[in-house]
Amino acid sequence: MHKALDAILQPSLESARPEFSAILPEEGIGEIKALELLAPLVIGHARRLNAETAFAHMDPPTPWVTWATSLWNAALNQNLLHPDVAPAARDIEDLVVRWLAPCFGMNGGHMTPGSTVANLTALWAAREIKGIRRVVSSTASHLSVAKSAHILGLDYLAVDTTGFGQIDREQLPADLSDSAIVLTAGTTSAGALDDLTLTGNAAWKHVDAAWAGPLRLSSKHRGRLNGIDTADSIAMSAHKWFFQPKESGLVLFRDSAAAHRAVSFGGAYLASPNIGVMGSRSANAVPLFATLLSWGRAGLEMRINGAMESAQMLFDYLDKQANVRLYGPNASGVILWRTKDNTDVRDLIDRLPEGSASTTTIGDLGWVRHVAANPTVNIDALQRAIGTAISVRQPGHDQLLIRPSPSRR
C-alpha cells in the first residue's frame, strides 16, 4: 500500500481522519469534501512522470489533450462492446487503427488495455487459425508471453539470449512448425531489439512491440524495427511511447478479418460479435486519436527522437565514467549500468532522485535502469545527480568510486 495511504489508515490516525476509515462509510461526505480530501493524497503524493529527472520507467507524462478527452470518456462512459452505446467512439477506434496498422505492415486490429491483453489475443488467434501447440520466445521476453501460453493451454519454451539480451537464433529449435515465435521489440529490462526478420518455419510470428513499436514512426529510427512487417500480429502499449493514459494498447494483425473471426463470440444481447478478450471496454482510442491528430506523425517522431537522444547522451556520459559498466548499446532508449566495483544497486538508486532510476536483475546481476519515456527530461540534471551518487565513498574504499576516464573504453 502507498506510504501516505498506509499512514492515513493507521488505527491511530483513523479517529483523526474518519473519512478514510477502513470500513465502508454509511453516510457520504459529499463530492466537494471528497475531492478536497483526496487531492492532497492522490495528486500530492503521485510520482511526477514529467519531473526533470523522471527517467525510471516505461510510463510517460501524458499530453494535456489526453486529459481533456479522458474527462470526456469518464463523463460519457461509452461502451465499445455495443455499437448503440458508442457510435462515434467505435468509428474513431476504426480510424486510429487504420492510421497505425499500415505503418507496421498490418491491415487492422483493435484496441486493448495494454500489451498483456494484446499478446494474449494475438496468441489466441494463432492457436485458433494455425493450431499452434507451443509458444517460443526469449528468456528476456515479457512475463505476459509465458502467461498467455499458460492461459491458452500451450507449451512454452524460453530460449537464451545473446550478450545484449537479444534472442539467440542458435538456440531456437530447428522445427517451429507447431509453434508461434514471439520476438520482442524493446525488452522490458534492457530495451533489446530482437532480430525481427527471424521467422524460421514458425506457424505464426508475433512481435511484442509494447515498448519500442512507435520507433517505426520515426524516419530516423524506423530501421531498428526492420522485419516487423513480416509478422502475423503485433502488440503495442499506447500508454508507453504513444504517451497515452493507461489503459491503452493495440493488437494488430496482418489478416485482421481472419484473426477477428477467430477471436469473436456472439451474444444474444449484442448487435455485433464481441471481438477479443475484453467485454465492456472504454473509448481509449479517443485520447490516442486526439494525440495523433494534434501532433501528426512528425510531432510523435520529434518526441521519440528527443527521448532517444536523451538516452544516448546519458549512455555517452556513463561510458566515460571509469567505474561504470554499461549493459549494452542504446537500442531503444533503455540504459542499464552498474559499477565495476559492485556497489549495491539499491544503494545507488537510493542516492539518485526519486523516479530517475529503477532496478532490474538479469541473470544474477542487478542493474540500475533508466528508461527514456519522458521527452522533457533534463539530462544534465540527471547526469549531475548520477555523478554525485557514484562519487560517494564506500566504507572500506579509500578512493572515490568513480573518476572521469580520459578515454573511452
Ligand X SMILES: Cc1ncc(COP(=O)(O)O)c(C=O)c1O
C-alpha cell at 210: 509494447
Based on CB atoms, which residue is closest to ligand X, 112 or 321? Answer: 112
Q: Which is nearer to ligand X, 120 or 389 (CB)?
A: 120
CA distance 335 to 351: 18
Site for ligand X in 285-314 (CB under 6 A): none
Closest alpha carbon to 339 in 324, 356, 326: 324
Stretch near ligand X under the rule CB under 6 A, chosen from 68-76, 184-192, 315-323, 350-358: 184-192
- Please choose, from the candidates 293, 311, 300, the residue with its C-alpha nearest in 3D space to the C-alpha of residue 69: 293
Q: Which of 121, 137, 237, 356 binds ligand X (CB under 6 A)?
A: 237
184 binds ligand X (CB under 6 A): yes
Q: Bridge-partner residues for 326, per DSSP? A: 337
Binds ligand X by CB under 6 A, chosen from 208, 260, 287, 358? 208
Which residue matches cell numbers 556520459?
317
Distance CA 405, CA 403 (A): 6
Run of H or E including 182 = strand 179-184
Q: In angstroms, what is the minimal distance from the CB of 297 to ligand X? A: 22
Residues 41-60 within binding reach of ligand X (CB under 6 A): 58
- Contacting range for ligand X; rule: CB under 6 A; set: 69-77, 160-168, 180-188, 317-325: 180-188
Residue closer to ligand X by CB (options 189, 343) is: 189
Judged by CB under 6 A, the number of residues near ligand X is 15
Task: Write the binding mask 99 to 138 for ligand X: x where contact by CB under 6 A, - elsewhere.
Answer: ---------------xxx----------------------
Which helix (DSSP H) or strand (DSSP E) does residue 180 occupy?
strand 179-184
What does DSSP assign to residue 407? S
- Find the DSSP H helices in 170-284: 256-262
Instruction: Give the chain's radius of gyration (CA, Å).
Output: 23
Could you list the residues that contact ligand X (CB under 6 A)? 58, 114-116, 142, 144, 184, 186-188, 208, 210-211, 237, 249
